[in-house]
Protein backbone atom coordinates (compact mmCIF):
# COMPACT_ATOMS: atom_id res chain seq x y z
CA UNK A 1 0.00 0.00 0.00
CA UNK A 2 3.01 2.22 -0.23
CA UNK A 3 1.84 3.49 -3.58
CA UNK A 4 -1.41 4.70 -2.12
CA UNK A 5 0.30 6.34 0.80
CA UNK A 6 2.74 8.19 -1.40
CA UNK A 7 -0.04 9.21 -3.72
CA UNK A 8 -2.11 10.66 -0.94
CA UNK A 9 0.91 12.51 0.44
CA UNK A 10 1.58 14.33 -2.80
CA UNK A 11 -2.11 14.87 -3.33
CA UNK A 12 -2.53 16.48 0.07
CA UNK A 13 0.43 18.73 -0.60
CA UNK A 14 -1.13 20.01 -3.78
CA UNK A 15 -4.51 20.30 -2.14
CA UNK A 16 -3.21 22.34 0.78
CA UNK A 17 -1.28 24.63 -1.55
CA UNK A 18 -4.34 25.09 -3.65
CA UNK A 19 -6.60 25.76 -0.70
CA UNK A 20 -4.32 28.51 0.36
CA UNK A 21 -4.02 30.30 -2.94
CA UNK A 22 -6.99 28.93 -4.85
CA UNK A 23 -5.79 30.39 -8.14
CA UNK A 24 -6.25 27.25 -10.22
CA UNK A 25 -9.66 26.49 -8.80
CA UNK A 26 -11.00 29.99 -9.19
CA UNK A 27 -9.70 30.47 -12.71
CA UNK A 28 -11.13 27.14 -13.77
CA UNK A 29 -14.45 27.89 -12.22
CA UNK A 30 -14.77 31.30 -13.77
CA UNK A 31 -13.55 30.09 -17.11
CA UNK A 32 -16.13 27.30 -17.14
CA UNK A 33 -18.90 29.72 -16.32
CA UNK A 34 -17.63 32.19 -18.88
CA UNK A 35 -17.75 29.50 -21.52
CA UNK A 36 -21.39 28.85 -20.70
CA UNK A 37 -22.14 32.47 -21.40
CA UNK A 38 -20.15 32.47 -24.59
CA UNK A 39 -21.93 29.35 -25.76
CA UNK A 40 -25.26 30.89 -25.02
CA UNK A 41 -24.50 33.89 -27.16
CA UNK A 42 -22.78 31.98 -29.91
CA UNK A 43 -25.33 29.28 -30.39
CA UNK A 44 -28.57 31.06 -29.64
CA UNK A 45 -30.54 27.85 -29.64
CA UNK A 46 -34.29 27.46 -29.57
CA UNK A 47 -35.42 25.75 -26.35
CA UNK A 48 -36.08 22.37 -27.91
CA UNK A 49 -32.65 22.22 -29.44
CA UNK A 50 -30.84 23.00 -26.23
CA UNK A 51 -31.45 19.61 -24.68
CA UNK A 52 -29.93 17.97 -27.73
CA UNK A 53 -26.85 20.13 -27.68
CA UNK A 54 -26.47 20.20 -23.93
CA UNK A 55 -24.12 17.23 -23.47
CA UNK A 56 -21.83 18.43 -26.22
CA UNK A 57 -21.72 22.00 -24.98
CA UNK A 58 -21.16 20.95 -21.41
CA UNK A 59 -18.41 18.57 -22.30
CA UNK A 60 -16.70 21.12 -24.51
CA UNK A 61 -16.74 23.56 -21.62
CA UNK A 62 -15.22 20.95 -19.35
CA UNK A 63 -12.55 20.06 -21.89
CA UNK A 64 -11.31 23.60 -22.16
CA UNK A 65 -11.56 24.25 -18.47
CA UNK A 66 -9.72 21.04 -17.75
CA UNK A 67 -6.96 22.02 -20.15
CA UNK A 68 -6.47 25.17 -18.13
CA UNK A 69 -6.01 23.06 -15.04
CA UNK A 70 -3.59 20.80 -16.84
CA UNK A 71 -1.29 23.59 -17.92
CA UNK A 72 -1.14 24.65 -14.29
CA UNK A 73 -0.61 21.17 -13.03
CA UNK A 74 3.14 21.15 -12.66
CA UNK A 75 3.48 24.87 -12.32
CA UNK A 76 4.17 24.75 -8.62
CA UNK A 77 6.98 22.29 -9.06
CA UNK A 78 8.48 24.22 -11.91
CA UNK A 79 8.51 27.53 -10.12
CA UNK A 80 10.68 26.55 -7.21
CA UNK A 81 12.68 23.74 -8.78
CA UNK A 82 10.65 21.42 -6.65
CA UNK A 83 10.45 18.97 -9.49
CA UNK A 84 14.11 18.08 -9.25
CA UNK A 85 13.71 17.71 -5.52
CA UNK A 86 10.73 15.45 -5.95
CA UNK A 87 12.57 13.31 -8.44
CA UNK A 88 15.61 13.00 -6.20
CA UNK A 89 13.46 11.67 -3.41
CA UNK A 90 12.53 7.98 -3.50
CA UNK A 91 9.02 8.91 -4.52
CA UNK A 92 7.44 6.33 -6.78
CA UNK A 93 6.80 7.97 -10.14
CA UNK A 94 3.54 6.15 -10.43
CA UNK A 95 2.45 7.75 -7.18
CA UNK A 96 3.34 11.17 -8.53
CA UNK A 97 1.28 10.43 -11.62
CA UNK A 98 -1.72 9.26 -9.60
CA UNK A 99 -1.49 12.19 -7.26
CA UNK A 100 -1.34 14.75 -10.04
CA UNK A 101 -4.18 13.08 -11.92
CA UNK A 102 -6.31 12.94 -8.81
CA UNK A 103 -5.58 16.54 -8.06
CA UNK A 104 -6.67 17.70 -11.49
CA UNK A 105 -9.63 15.36 -11.23
CA UNK A 106 -10.54 16.92 -7.92
CA UNK A 107 -10.41 20.43 -9.33
CA UNK A 108 -12.43 19.48 -12.36
CA UNK A 109 -15.05 17.66 -10.33
CA UNK A 110 -15.53 20.69 -8.13
CA UNK A 111 -15.98 22.86 -11.15
CA UNK A 112 -18.33 20.37 -12.78
CA UNK A 113 -20.42 20.10 -9.64
CA UNK A 114 -21.11 23.80 -9.87
CA UNK A 115 -21.19 24.29 -13.61
CA UNK A 116 -23.62 21.50 -14.40
CA UNK A 117 -26.50 22.80 -12.31
CA UNK A 118 -25.61 26.29 -13.49
CA UNK A 119 -25.93 25.10 -17.06
CA UNK A 120 -29.32 23.62 -16.27
CA UNK A 121 -30.45 26.93 -14.85
CA UNK A 122 -29.00 29.21 -17.52
CA UNK A 123 -30.28 27.16 -20.39
CA UNK A 124 -33.65 26.41 -18.82
CA UNK A 125 -33.33 22.68 -18.99
CA UNK A 126 -35.61 20.14 -17.40
CA UNK A 127 -34.85 16.69 -16.11
CA UNK A 128 -33.12 17.66 -12.88
CA UNK A 129 -33.52 14.11 -11.68
CA UNK A 130 -31.11 12.96 -14.38
CA UNK A 131 -28.26 15.01 -13.04
CA UNK A 132 -26.78 12.33 -10.75
CA UNK A 133 -26.52 9.85 -13.62
CA UNK A 134 -25.14 12.49 -15.91
CA UNK A 135 -22.62 13.44 -13.31
CA UNK A 136 -21.52 9.85 -12.98
CA UNK A 137 -20.84 9.65 -16.69
CA UNK A 138 -19.04 12.97 -16.57
CA UNK A 139 -16.96 11.61 -13.73
CA UNK A 140 -15.79 8.68 -15.81
CA UNK A 141 -15.01 10.94 -18.72
CA UNK A 142 -13.15 13.36 -16.50
CA UNK A 143 -11.04 10.53 -15.14
CA UNK A 144 -9.99 9.64 -18.65
CA UNK A 145 -9.24 13.25 -19.39
CA UNK A 146 -7.18 13.81 -16.26
CA UNK A 147 -5.21 10.62 -16.66
CA UNK A 148 -4.21 11.19 -20.25
CA UNK A 149 -3.93 14.90 -19.65
CA UNK A 150 -1.51 14.48 -16.77
CA UNK A 151 0.74 12.34 -18.92
CA UNK A 152 0.64 14.88 -21.72
CA UNK A 153 1.12 17.75 -19.34
CA UNK A 154 4.32 16.16 -18.12
CA UNK A 155 5.38 15.27 -21.65
CA UNK A 156 5.05 18.85 -22.87
CA UNK A 157 6.62 20.29 -19.77
CA UNK A 158 9.76 21.56 -21.49
CA UNK A 159 8.27 22.46 -24.82
CA UNK A 160 8.00 25.90 -26.24
CA UNK A 161 4.46 27.13 -26.88
CA UNK A 162 3.38 24.64 -24.27
CA UNK A 163 -0.10 26.06 -23.75
CA UNK A 164 -0.79 25.56 -27.45
CA UNK A 165 0.98 22.25 -27.80
CA UNK A 166 -0.79 20.53 -24.93
CA UNK A 167 -4.32 20.71 -26.38
CA UNK A 168 -2.95 19.97 -29.84
CA UNK A 169 -1.41 16.75 -28.66
CA UNK A 170 -4.10 15.80 -26.16
CA UNK A 171 -7.37 16.35 -27.98
CA UNK A 172 -7.01 13.79 -30.78
CA UNK A 173 -6.19 11.19 -28.17
CA UNK A 174 -9.27 12.17 -26.21
CA UNK A 175 -11.68 11.42 -29.01
CA UNK A 176 -12.90 8.09 -27.61
CA UNK A 177 -13.67 9.76 -24.30
CA UNK A 178 -15.41 12.69 -25.95
CA UNK A 179 -17.54 10.45 -28.13
CA UNK A 180 -18.36 7.99 -25.37
CA UNK A 181 -19.22 10.58 -22.74
CA UNK A 182 -21.41 12.68 -24.97
CA UNK A 183 -23.26 9.65 -26.38
CA UNK A 184 -23.92 8.35 -22.89
CA UNK A 185 -25.18 11.71 -21.75
CA UNK A 186 -27.41 12.03 -24.78
CA UNK A 187 -28.88 8.64 -24.09
CA UNK A 188 -29.52 9.50 -20.47
CA UNK A 189 -31.24 12.70 -21.42
CA UNK A 190 -33.46 11.16 -24.05
CA UNK A 191 -34.25 7.90 -22.25
CA UNK A 192 -32.71 6.24 -19.22
CA UNK A 193 -29.12 5.10 -19.45
CA UNK A 194 -30.09 1.78 -20.96
CA UNK A 195 -29.07 -0.56 -23.74
CA UNK A 196 -27.69 1.62 -26.42
CA UNK A 197 -25.27 3.56 -24.29
CA UNK A 198 -23.99 0.55 -22.36
CA UNK A 199 -21.27 -0.24 -24.85
CA UNK A 200 -20.13 3.37 -24.82
CA UNK A 201 -19.92 3.16 -21.06
CA UNK A 202 -17.81 0.05 -21.30
CA UNK A 203 -15.53 1.79 -23.76
CA UNK A 204 -15.15 4.65 -21.35
CA UNK A 205 -14.34 2.35 -18.47
CA UNK A 206 -11.89 0.45 -20.62
CA UNK A 207 -10.20 3.68 -21.63
CA UNK A 208 -9.86 4.77 -18.02
CA UNK A 209 -8.46 1.45 -16.86
CA UNK A 210 -6.02 1.16 -19.72
CA UNK A 211 -4.54 4.60 -19.38
CA UNK A 212 -4.37 4.62 -15.62
CA UNK A 213 -2.29 1.47 -15.92
CA UNK A 214 -0.17 2.81 -18.73
CA UNK A 215 0.32 6.04 -16.85
CA UNK A 216 1.56 4.35 -13.72
CA UNK A 217 3.93 2.18 -15.68
CA UNK A 218 5.30 4.80 -17.98
CA UNK A 219 5.41 7.93 -15.86
CA UNK A 220 8.99 7.62 -14.70
CA UNK A 221 10.04 7.71 -18.33
CA UNK A 222 7.90 10.74 -18.89
CA UNK A 223 9.13 12.85 -16.09
CA UNK A 224 12.84 12.21 -16.03
CA UNK A 225 13.66 12.37 -19.75
CA UNK B 1 20.15 -0.24 -54.40
CA UNK B 2 16.61 -1.23 -53.75
CA UNK B 3 15.69 1.75 -55.87
CA UNK B 4 15.69 -0.46 -58.95
CA UNK B 5 13.29 -2.91 -57.36
CA UNK B 6 10.98 -0.12 -56.34
CA UNK B 7 10.84 1.49 -59.72
CA UNK B 8 10.07 -1.85 -61.29
CA UNK B 9 7.44 -2.56 -58.69
CA UNK B 10 5.72 0.78 -59.13
CA UNK B 11 5.73 0.69 -62.86
CA UNK B 12 4.47 -2.85 -62.90
CA UNK B 13 1.61 -1.86 -60.66
CA UNK B 14 0.67 1.02 -62.90
CA UNK B 15 0.80 -0.97 -66.11
CA UNK B 16 -1.21 -3.90 -64.88
CA UNK B 17 -3.76 -1.70 -63.20
CA UNK B 18 -5.19 -0.08 -66.32
CA UNK B 19 -6.23 -3.24 -68.14
CA UNK B 20 -7.90 -4.77 -65.12
CA UNK B 21 -10.10 -2.17 -63.55
CA UNK B 22 -13.54 -2.25 -65.12
CA UNK B 23 -15.95 -1.23 -62.38
CA UNK B 24 -15.63 2.39 -63.26
CA UNK B 25 -12.29 3.99 -63.57
CA UNK B 26 -12.34 5.59 -60.18
CA UNK B 27 -11.98 2.19 -58.60
CA UNK B 28 -8.34 2.35 -59.67
CA UNK B 29 -7.64 4.87 -56.96
CA UNK B 30 -7.97 1.99 -54.56
CA UNK B 31 -4.64 0.74 -55.87
CA UNK B 32 -3.16 3.84 -54.31
CA UNK B 33 -5.49 4.27 -51.38
CA UNK B 34 -5.21 0.89 -49.76
CA UNK B 35 -1.43 0.56 -50.03
CA UNK B 36 -1.03 4.11 -48.73
CA UNK B 37 -3.03 3.51 -45.59
CA UNK B 38 -1.36 0.15 -44.98
CA UNK B 39 2.03 1.78 -45.31
CA UNK B 40 0.98 4.48 -42.90
CA UNK B 41 -0.19 1.91 -40.36
CA UNK B 42 3.05 0.03 -40.68
CA UNK B 43 5.00 3.24 -40.18
CA UNK B 44 3.08 4.02 -37.04
CA UNK B 45 3.68 0.54 -35.78
CA UNK B 46 7.38 1.16 -36.30
CA UNK B 47 7.04 4.40 -34.36
CA UNK B 48 5.51 2.38 -31.56
CA UNK B 49 8.26 -0.22 -31.59
CA UNK B 50 10.97 2.41 -31.81
CA UNK B 51 9.41 4.37 -28.96
CA UNK B 52 9.14 1.30 -26.73
CA UNK B 53 12.70 0.27 -27.46
CA UNK B 54 13.97 3.76 -26.86
CA UNK B 55 12.29 4.09 -23.50
CA UNK B 56 13.57 0.68 -22.58
CA UNK B 57 17.16 0.71 -23.80
CA UNK B 58 17.77 4.41 -24.39
CA UNK B 59 19.65 3.74 -27.60
CA UNK B 60 19.59 6.67 -29.95
CA UNK B 61 19.02 4.54 -33.03
CA UNK B 62 15.59 3.49 -31.81
CA UNK B 63 14.66 7.10 -31.45
CA UNK B 64 15.90 7.89 -34.94
CA UNK B 65 13.79 5.03 -36.23
CA UNK B 66 10.72 6.34 -34.46
CA UNK B 67 11.24 9.87 -35.69
CA UNK B 68 11.83 8.77 -39.27
CA UNK B 69 8.86 6.42 -39.27
CA UNK B 70 6.64 9.17 -37.90
CA UNK B 71 7.65 11.57 -40.62
CA UNK B 72 7.04 9.08 -43.37
CA UNK B 73 3.85 7.89 -41.73
CA UNK B 74 2.50 11.42 -41.78
CA UNK B 75 3.44 11.68 -45.42
CA UNK B 76 1.52 8.56 -46.36
CA UNK B 77 -1.42 9.45 -44.16
CA UNK B 78 -1.73 12.81 -45.84
CA UNK B 79 -1.60 11.06 -49.19
CA UNK B 80 -4.26 8.62 -48.07
CA UNK B 81 -6.58 11.45 -47.16
CA UNK B 82 -5.99 13.20 -50.46
CA UNK B 83 -6.63 9.98 -52.35
CA UNK B 84 -9.73 9.28 -50.31
CA UNK B 85 -11.02 12.74 -50.97
CA UNK B 86 -10.40 12.50 -54.70
CA UNK B 87 -12.07 9.10 -54.73
CA UNK B 88 -15.02 10.50 -52.86
CA UNK B 89 -15.77 13.30 -55.27
CA UNK B 90 -16.99 11.25 -58.23
CA UNK B 91 -18.28 8.43 -56.06
CA UNK B 92 -20.38 10.33 -53.58
CA UNK B 93 -20.32 13.79 -55.04
CA UNK B 94 -18.51 15.42 -52.16
CA UNK B 95 -14.87 16.20 -51.43
CA UNK B 96 -15.18 15.23 -47.84
CA UNK B 97 -17.46 13.13 -45.71
CA UNK B 98 -17.21 12.23 -42.08
CA UNK B 99 -17.39 8.54 -42.67
CA UNK B 100 -15.44 6.26 -40.39
CA UNK B 101 -12.46 5.66 -42.66
CA UNK B 102 -11.71 9.22 -43.60
CA UNK B 103 -12.32 10.47 -40.09
CA UNK B 104 -9.99 7.89 -38.62
CA UNK B 105 -7.30 8.74 -41.10
CA UNK B 106 -7.66 12.41 -40.30
CA UNK B 107 -7.31 11.67 -36.60
CA UNK B 108 -4.17 9.65 -37.26
CA UNK B 109 -2.77 12.59 -39.15
CA UNK B 110 -3.50 14.87 -36.22
CA UNK B 111 -1.88 12.59 -33.69
CA UNK B 112 1.36 12.07 -35.54
CA UNK B 113 1.62 15.61 -36.75
CA UNK B 114 1.41 16.42 -33.07
CA UNK B 115 4.27 13.99 -32.54
CA UNK B 116 6.43 15.83 -35.05
CA UNK B 117 5.52 19.19 -33.60
CA UNK B 118 6.31 18.01 -30.11
CA UNK B 119 9.77 17.00 -31.21
CA UNK B 120 10.49 20.28 -32.91
CA UNK B 121 9.25 22.35 -29.98
CA UNK B 122 11.46 20.80 -27.33
CA UNK B 123 14.96 22.20 -27.26
CA UNK B 124 16.88 19.47 -25.55
CA UNK B 125 17.28 16.52 -27.88
CA UNK B 126 17.15 13.86 -25.19
CA UNK B 127 14.05 15.30 -23.61
CA UNK B 128 12.44 15.60 -27.00
CA UNK B 129 13.22 11.98 -27.70
CA UNK B 130 11.73 10.79 -24.43
CA UNK B 131 8.67 12.96 -24.73
CA UNK B 132 8.04 11.87 -28.27
CA UNK B 133 8.53 8.23 -27.33
CA UNK B 134 5.81 8.48 -24.70
CA UNK B 135 3.49 10.09 -27.20
CA UNK B 136 4.40 7.44 -29.75
CA UNK B 137 3.42 4.69 -27.36
CA UNK B 138 0.26 6.27 -26.01
CA UNK B 139 -0.88 7.36 -29.42
CA UNK B 140 -0.54 3.89 -30.81
CA UNK B 141 -2.31 2.31 -27.85
CA UNK B 142 -5.13 4.77 -28.26
CA UNK B 143 -5.66 3.91 -31.91
CA UNK B 144 -7.82 0.80 -31.37
CA UNK B 145 -9.98 2.78 -28.95
CA UNK B 146 -10.33 5.64 -31.40
CA UNK B 147 -11.08 3.13 -34.13
CA UNK B 148 -13.86 1.55 -32.11
CA UNK B 149 -15.41 4.78 -31.01
CA UNK B 150 -15.45 6.34 -34.46
CA UNK B 151 -16.88 3.22 -36.09
CA UNK B 152 -19.62 2.92 -33.48
CA UNK B 153 -20.41 6.54 -33.87
CA UNK B 154 -20.71 6.26 -37.58
CA UNK B 155 -22.63 3.02 -37.74
CA UNK B 156 -24.95 3.39 -34.78
CA UNK B 157 -25.83 6.94 -35.52
CA UNK B 158 -26.08 6.92 -39.23
CA UNK B 159 -28.06 10.02 -40.15
CA UNK B 160 -30.91 9.36 -42.57
CA UNK B 161 -28.80 10.52 -45.45
CA UNK B 162 -28.06 8.68 -48.63
CA UNK B 163 -24.34 8.08 -48.27
CA UNK B 164 -23.12 4.54 -47.96
CA UNK B 165 -19.50 5.26 -47.26
CA UNK B 166 -18.85 2.64 -44.65
CA UNK B 167 -18.35 -0.26 -46.95
CA UNK B 168 -14.67 -0.93 -47.08
CA UNK B 169 -13.47 -1.66 -50.60
CA UNK B 170 -11.77 -4.81 -49.55
CA UNK B 171 -15.02 -6.40 -48.57
CA UNK B 172 -16.08 -7.02 -52.11
CA UNK B 173 -12.91 -7.33 -54.05
CA UNK B 174 -12.88 -9.50 -57.13
CA UNK B 175 -9.97 -11.77 -57.94
CA UNK B 176 -8.66 -9.99 -61.05
CA UNK B 177 -8.43 -6.80 -59.04
CA UNK B 178 -6.56 -8.47 -56.26
CA UNK B 179 -3.36 -8.97 -58.22
CA UNK B 180 -2.59 -5.34 -59.06
CA UNK B 181 -3.62 -4.47 -55.54
CA UNK B 182 -1.11 -6.85 -54.04
CA UNK B 183 1.56 -5.71 -56.43
CA UNK B 184 0.97 -2.13 -55.46
CA UNK B 185 0.98 -2.98 -51.79
CA UNK B 186 4.36 -4.62 -52.19
CA UNK B 187 5.55 -1.66 -54.22
CA UNK B 188 4.47 0.77 -51.54
CA UNK B 189 6.10 -1.29 -48.84
CA UNK B 190 9.34 -1.29 -50.78
CA UNK B 191 8.98 2.44 -51.17
CA UNK B 192 8.40 2.78 -47.46
CA UNK B 193 11.56 0.93 -46.58
CA UNK B 194 13.57 2.86 -49.07
CA UNK B 195 12.40 6.26 -47.86
CA UNK B 196 12.75 5.07 -44.30
CA UNK B 197 16.36 4.07 -44.81
CA UNK B 198 17.12 7.44 -46.37
CA UNK B 199 15.46 9.32 -43.57
CA UNK B 200 17.15 7.11 -41.03
CA UNK B 201 20.58 7.89 -42.39
CA UNK B 202 19.72 11.55 -42.28
CA UNK B 203 18.82 11.11 -38.65
CA UNK B 204 22.08 9.36 -37.94
CA UNK B 205 24.11 12.14 -39.49
CA UNK B 206 22.20 14.77 -37.62
CA UNK B 207 22.81 12.92 -34.41
CA UNK B 208 26.50 12.71 -35.11
CA UNK B 209 26.58 16.44 -35.79
CA UNK B 210 24.89 17.02 -32.49
CA UNK B 211 27.33 14.78 -30.63
CA UNK B 212 30.33 16.50 -32.16
CA UNK B 213 28.94 19.90 -31.32
CA UNK B 214 28.54 18.78 -27.74
CA UNK B 215 32.11 17.55 -27.69
CA UNK B 216 33.33 20.83 -29.06
CA UNK B 217 31.60 22.94 -26.49
CA UNK B 218 32.75 20.65 -23.69
CA UNK C 1 -14.06 5.52 -69.31
CA UNK C 2 -15.51 8.28 -67.23
CA UNK C 3 -13.75 10.00 -64.34
CA UNK C 4 -10.32 9.45 -65.85
CA UNK C 5 -9.37 12.94 -64.78
CA UNK C 6 -9.86 12.03 -61.13
CA UNK C 7 -7.70 8.98 -61.43
CA UNK C 8 -5.02 11.00 -63.15
CA UNK C 9 -5.28 13.64 -60.46
CA UNK C 10 -4.90 11.13 -57.68
CA UNK C 11 -1.99 9.29 -59.19
CA UNK C 12 -0.39 12.56 -60.21
CA UNK C 13 -0.58 14.07 -56.75
CA UNK C 14 0.65 10.96 -55.03
CA UNK C 15 3.65 10.44 -57.19
CA UNK C 16 4.65 14.08 -57.31
CA UNK C 17 4.44 14.33 -53.52
CA UNK C 18 6.56 11.23 -53.11
CA UNK C 19 9.12 12.48 -55.60
CA UNK C 20 9.20 15.91 -53.99
CA UNK C 21 9.70 14.34 -50.57
CA UNK C 22 12.47 12.21 -52.00
CA UNK C 23 14.31 15.26 -53.32
CA UNK C 24 13.64 17.11 -50.11
CA UNK C 25 15.25 14.27 -48.18
CA UNK C 26 18.20 14.19 -50.53
CA UNK C 27 18.76 17.90 -50.12
CA UNK C 28 18.62 17.74 -46.33
CA UNK C 29 20.98 14.79 -46.47
CA UNK C 30 23.50 16.64 -48.59
CA UNK C 31 23.35 19.69 -46.33
CA UNK C 32 23.86 17.55 -43.27
CA UNK C 33 26.77 15.75 -44.92
CA UNK C 34 28.47 19.04 -45.70
CA UNK C 35 27.90 20.29 -42.19
CA UNK C 36 29.34 17.09 -40.77
CA UNK C 37 32.46 17.17 -42.91
CA UNK C 38 32.96 20.83 -42.04
CA UNK C 39 32.71 19.93 -38.38
CA UNK C 40 35.05 16.95 -38.60
CA UNK C 41 37.68 18.85 -40.54
CA UNK C 42 37.49 21.71 -38.05
CA UNK C 43 37.85 19.26 -35.21
CA UNK C 44 40.80 17.42 -36.74
CA UNK C 45 42.40 20.81 -37.32
CA UNK C 46 42.01 21.63 -33.65
CA UNK C 47 43.47 18.32 -32.62
CA UNK C 48 46.48 18.89 -34.87
CA UNK C 49 47.05 22.33 -33.34
CA UNK C 50 46.87 20.93 -29.86
CA UNK C 51 49.51 18.28 -30.53
Encode chain C (51 residues) as per-residue pLDDT tens digits.
456 677 778 778 888 888 899 889 889 999 999 988 888 888 788 778 876
* φ, ψ for residue A144, nearest 5 deg: -55, -45
Assigned domain for B2 exists: no
Query: What pLDDT is attached to residue B161?
Result: 39
State the pLDDT confidence band at B66, using cuts at 50, 70 and 90: very high
Interface touch B24/C3, C-beta < 8 Å = yes
Residues 6+ apart with CB under 8 A from A199: B152
**pLDDT of B155 above 80:** no
Q: B209 in contact with C at a CB cutoff of 8 Å?
A: yes
Residue in chain B closest to C22 (alpha carbons) equals B195
Say what angle helices B175-217 and B60-92 make with each other, to 10 degrees.
Answer: 140
Query: What pLDDT is attached to residue B26?
Result: 62
Query: What pLDDT is attached to residue B165?
Result: 45
Chain A nearest CA to B109, separation (Å)? 9
Assigned domain for B18 exists: no
- pLDDT > 90: what percent of chain B? 39
Interface touch B209/C13, C-beta < 8 Å = no
B166 in Cβ contact with B10 (< 8 Å):
no
Distance CA B8, CA A223 (A): 48
User: How many Cα atoms are found within 13 Å in the side-chain-facing hemisphere of B51?
Assistant: 28
> Tell me: the pLDDT tens digits for B101-150?
889 999 999 999 999 999 999 888 888 999 999 999 999 999 999 998 89
Assigned domain for B166 exists: no
> Tell me: the pLDDT tens digits for B115-128?
999 999 988 888 89
Q: Using a CB cutoff of 8 Å and minimum separation of 24, what contacts does C12-21 make?
A: C13/B79, C13/B82, C13/B83, C13/B86, C14/B32, C14/B36, C14/B79, C14/B82, C14/B83, C17/B75, C17/B78, C17/B79, C18/B75, C18/B79, C18/B191, C18/B195, C21/B75, C21/B195
Query: What pLDDT is attached to residue B162?
Result: 36
Chain C nearest CA to B146, separation (Å)? 27
Q: What is the DSSP letter of B28?
A: G
Q: What's the average model confidence in pLDDT over B187-197?
A: 85
- Are there at least 3 beta-carbon pairs closer than 8 Å between C and A? no
Query: What pLDDT is attached to residue B145?
Result: 92
Assigned domain for B62 exists: yes
Q: In terms of C-beta density within 10 A (0-12 exposed, 13-18 middle, 19 or more buried), how is residue B30 classed? A: buried
Assigned domain for B24 exists: no
Q: What is the DSSP letter of B122?
A: B
Interface touch B137/A196, C-beta < 8 Å = no
Nearest to B209 among C4, C14, C35 (CB): C35
- Chain A positions in Cβ-Cβ contact with residue B66 (cut-off 8 Å): none
- Are there at least 3 beta-carbon pairs closer than 8 Å between B and C? yes
Distance CA C51, CA B167 (A): 72
What are the residue ranges in chain A where pLDDT is below 70? 1, 193-195, 225
Which domain, by its residues, includes B143?
33-158+174-217
Query: What pLDDT is attached to residue B160?
Result: 38
Query: What pLDDT is attached to residue A210?
Result: 94
Which domain, by its residues, includes A219?
2-224
Alpha-carbon Rg for chain C, nearest whole angstrom, is: 22
H helix or E strand, kind and range, residue C18: helix C4-50
Q: A159 in contact with B at a CB cutoff of 8 Å?
A: yes
Interface touch B149/A156, C-beta < 8 Å = no
**SS3 assignment for B62-111:** HHHHHHHHHHHHHHHHHHHHHHHHHHHHHHHCCCCCCCHHHHHHHHHHHH
Which residues sit opposite B122 in a β-bridge?
A: A159
Count of beta carbons in the 10 Å neighbourhood of residue B117: 17
Interface touch B111/A168, C-beta < 8 Å = no
- Backbone dihedral region for residue B159 (phi beyond 0: left; psi -120 to 50: alpha; all else: beta): beta
Count of beta carbons in the 10 Å neighbourhood of residue B39: 26
B184 in Cβ contact with B13 (< 8 Å):
yes
- Chain B positions in Cβ-Cβ contact with residue A169 (cut-off 8 Å): 114-115, 117-118, 135
**pLDDT of B168 above 60:** no
Interface touch B145/A158, C-beta < 8 Å = no
User: How does the average pLDDT of chain B come out, rounded?
Assistant: 81
Q: How many domains does chain A have?
A: 1
Distance CA B6, CA B191 (A): 6
Q: Using a CB cutoff of 8 Å and minimum separation of 24, what contacts does A121-128 make?
A: A122/A36, A122/A37, A122/A40, A123/A36, A123/A40, A123/A50, A123/A54, A124/A47, A124/A50, A125/A50, A125/A51, A125/A54, A126/A51, A127/A51, A127/A189
pTM score of the predicted model: 0.87
Q: B201 in contact with C at a CB cutoff of 8 Å?
A: yes
Bigger pLDDT: B76 vs A195 = B76
- pLDDT > 90: what percent of chain A? 40
Residue of B27, B204, B209 to mutate, interface with C, max C Cβ within 10 Å: B209
- Chain B positions in Cβ-Cβ contact with residue C35 (cut-off 8 Å): 209
Query: What pLDDT is attached to residue C1?
Result: 45
Say what angle helices A2-21 and A23-43 make with each other, to 10 degrees.
Answer: 70
Interface touch A225/B130, C-beta < 8 Å = yes
Nearest to B205 among C14, C21, C36 (CB): C36
State the pLDDT confidence band at B52, using cuts at 50, 70 and 90: very high
State the pLDDT confidence band at B163, using cuts at 50, 70 and 90: very low
Q: How many domains does chain B have?
A: 1
Query: What pLDDT is attached to residue B176?
Result: 58
Amino acid sequence: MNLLKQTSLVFWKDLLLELRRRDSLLTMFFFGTLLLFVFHFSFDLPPDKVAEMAPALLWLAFLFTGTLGLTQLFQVERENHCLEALLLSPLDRGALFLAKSCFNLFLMLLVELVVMPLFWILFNLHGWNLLPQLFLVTLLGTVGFCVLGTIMSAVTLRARARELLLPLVLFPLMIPVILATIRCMENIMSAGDLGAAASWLRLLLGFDVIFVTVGILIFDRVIEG
Amino acid sequence: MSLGAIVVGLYWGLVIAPPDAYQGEVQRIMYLHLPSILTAYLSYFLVFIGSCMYLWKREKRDDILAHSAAEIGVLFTALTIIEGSIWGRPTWGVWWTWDARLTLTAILLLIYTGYLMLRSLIEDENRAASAAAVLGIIGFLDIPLIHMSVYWWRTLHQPPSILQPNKAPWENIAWPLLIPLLINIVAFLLLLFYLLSLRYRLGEIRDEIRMRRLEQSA
Amino acid sequence: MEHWSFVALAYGIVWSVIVVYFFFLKRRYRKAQMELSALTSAQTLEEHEQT
